[in-house]
Amino acid sequence: MTGAGTHVFWCETLLVDGEPTPGVRVEVGADGRIARLTPGCAPRPRDVRLGTVLPGMANAHSHAFHRALRGCTHADGGDFWQWREAMYLAAGRLDPDRYYALARAVFAEMLVSGWTAVGEFHYVHHRPDGSRYPREHAMELALAAAARDVGIRLVLLDTLYLAGGIGRPLAPEQRAFDDGSAAGWLERWRSLNETLGADPDARVSLGAAIHSVRAVPTAAMREVLAGLPSAVPLHIHLSEQPQENADCLAEYGLTPTGVLADLDALSPRLSVVHATHLTDADIELIGRTGTTVIMCPTTEADLGDGIGPARRLADAGARIALGSDQNAVVDPLLEMRGLEAGERLASGERGRFDPAALLAAASTSGYACLGLGDNRLRPGGLCDLVEVSMDSVRTIGSAPAQLPLSATASDVVRVIVHGVIVADSGRLVSAGGAAADRLPEALLRHALATLDNIPPIHDGTSGDPA
């Protein structure tokens, strides 16, 4: 059923651009890409038969290590700033081995849940005191190894992080994030790019990120924009908290979006994350430039961030993608539903994003903003697919097109990446090791056992958004 010999899948129903298409035969080339799609046909004897199938979905914004906080911080009260202190504690307990174990477990959970690709917004580069590991790029290579071992596509969004707030030095707990300068970060980024090497299969690739307008001075952002190759996807946190906007206005007389516009950074190449607290002018700027907005509904709800203006951004011309951010929830279907639920709660209207648009946010837009093509299930595209059960207590009676509004990750059956089944019924298929090691929950138990418990945080100080 799996492995290099699997080259043809027959889908009872395949959602192509959100439309259910019956009886689709998907032929896969040796390069892991779709060679031919034949709708309206019967299966052949050697075809792998699938039921209802969605395009693979890209988690466009993840911080894998935040998973260590799940179930430990939700009852603490406070707001984002208090939660952030617990996040720093978790970051301070990482080293390459621990990060590999944790990332492998989190990526496994993503894969069995239907995320076939992930953009890992990575800034824990060095030891907690800021000193370098003896092995160059040890933390980055740990993440790459974790993704390869699991079978998920990884776009490593290596992140520049220089300040503890506008005009403020980094705090001690932020020293692991620091490369000293934009020039120092660019030098490390180029070295990492050479170390990872070209990957024609797009299994592991290198992107880039500027942490935020708060954490990177404008001169450093300008240096990064000039120094990065134009084809490299670039991401940045934007206006997640009102405090970021207030600090930016006080320093620059501009909103964070205005600062990016002043730098000519807004473009289809850029993805802004959260974009929760925007002015009308911000929305117009982001939409007019075709910038992607990555929303993370489960995290934005958990941290009390607010509900971003997704519908207005899309109407202005922005592309909407989705991410799991802190990984308190790992479920692409719930992120889709959260996007629409937030719009309904804010507007009092249903159907702000139809199911096809929700699926496009999780698949087409997510892949595109990570530099992986558009994943629209066309010949030449990557063969990344997700089979969803139509027979669960959640999905019985659902129209296939409305699965984004009824199914959850528990309904994911088989997951295909690069034309190969990599997960089946909650278990990894392609992972090495004993059968028990193919269960994400076993990997998570092992990973969390290597980290000290993260105590609840009741007091914190303001600083740079995570």
CB proximity list for 433: less than 8 A, separation 6 or greater: none
**pLDDT value for 85:** 78
CA distance 268 to 45: 44
3-state secondary structure of 273: strand
3-state secondary structure of 168: strand
DSSP-derived secondary structure for 81-136: HHHHHHHHHHHTT--HHHHHHHHHHHHHHHHHHTEEEEEEEE---S-TTSPPPSST
What are the phi and psi torsion angles at 329 (to 5°)? Answer: -130, 130
What are the phi and psi torsion angles at 51 (to 5°)? Answer: -90, -115
CA distance 353 to 357: 6
CA distance 62 to 113: 14
Which residues are tagged catalytic? Answer: 274, 325
- Given 3.20.20.140, 2.40.30.60, 3.40.1160.10, 3.40.50.1820, which CATH number is that of 57-369? 3.20.20.140
Q: Check: CB of residue 53 under 8 Å from CB of residue 389.
A: no
Would you state the torsion angle of the CA atoms of residues 250, 255, 261, 263, taken in this order, to the nearest 10 degrees?
30
Around Cβ 167, how many Cβ atoms within 10 Å? 11
More confident residue, 68 or 261: 261
Q: Quick check: 124 pLDDT over 60?
A: yes
Query: Domain spanning 8-55+377-429: which CATH class is it, in words?
Result: mainly beta
3-state secondary structure of 435: helix
User: Would you give the DSSP letter of residue 220?
Assistant: H
Enumerate the domain spans of the chain: 8-55+377-429, 57-369
Alpha helices in 125-255 (DSSP H): 138-150, 182-196, 218-227, 242-252
| Lookup: tokens for 238 | 């934007």
Spatial CA neighbour of 142 closest among 185, 98, 174? 98
**pLDDT value for 449:** 87
| Lookup: tokens for 204 | 């592991």
CA 185 remoteness from chain centre: 22
CA distances to 27, 262, 315, 354, 415 from 318, in Å:
33, 18, 7, 16, 29
CA distance 70 to 52: 31
Q: Check: CB of residue 118 under 8 Å from CB of residue 152.
A: yes
* Sign of the CA dihedral with 61 first, then 283, 17, and 306 last: positive
Q: What percent of the chain has pLDDT over 70?
A: 92
- Strand ranges (DSSP E) for 80-169? 115-122, 153-160
**pLDDT value for 1:** 38
Mean pLDDT of 355-378: 97
Residue range 160-213, pLDDT digits in tens:
999 999 999 999 999 999 999 999 999 999 999 999 998 888 899 999 999 999
Residue range 384-395, pLDDT digits in tens:
999 999 999 999
- Strand ranges (DSSP E) for 42-87? 48-55, 57-62
3-state secondary structure of 382: strand
Mean pLDDT of 353-380: 97
| Lookup: tokens for 331 | 């479920």
**pLDDT value for 430:** 65
Residue range 383-440, pLDDT digits in tens:
999 999 999 999 999 999 999 999 999 999 999 999 999 999 999 996 544 444 578 9
**pLDDT value for 286:** 98
- The type of residue at 287 is G
CA atoms within 13 A on the CB side of 86: 28
Report pTM: 0.94
Q: Quick check: 466 pLDDT over 60?
A: no
CA distance 463 to 383: 42
Question: If you average pLDDT over every residue of the chain, what do you get?
Answer: 92
Mean pLDDT of 300-309: 94
